[in-house]
Amino acid sequence: MKTNRIMDEIRGSISPEMKLQMEMSVAIANRIYEILEAKGMTQKDLAKRLGKTETEVSRWLSGTHNLTLSTICKISAALEEELVTVPHQR
């Protein structure tokens, strides 16, 4: 696979915490896309359920936006699906 030297350098300079945040943000965005597709919904439909603009939802789904826990919960409730699963303590 061909790689971009500049992007490789940037990736190499990112802290482990930032890398994990980026990976989780993209994973959450991908999960939202999966749910939307399964439910036959669009970003516009989700925006309407949340009382947000389609532009704002699009920004969230870019995978680069730092979603708050509150926003994740609102999206989860609007879609009636879990976005993030946290193991329960026994």
pLDDT digits (tens, 9 = 90+) for 5-21: 876 777 778 888 888 88
Torsion of CA 52, 17, 84, 48, to 10 degrees: 10
Give the residue-averaged pLDDT of 28-34: 94
Question: Following DSSP, what letter does each residue of 25-46 receive, concatenated?
Answer: HHHHHHHHHHHHHHHT--HHHH
pLDDT digits (tens, 9 = 90+) for 49-80: 999 999 999 998 887 788 999 999 999 999 99
pTM equals 0.79
pLDDT band of residue 1 (cuts 50, 70, 90) is: low
Q: What is the C-alpha to C-alpha distance for residues 75 and 81, in angstroms, rounded to an integer?
A: 9
**Cα 87 to the chain's mean position, in Å?**
19
Q: What is the DSSP letter of 53?
A: -
Q: What is the C-alpha to C-alpha distance for residues 75 and 68, in angstroms, rounded to an integer?
A: 11
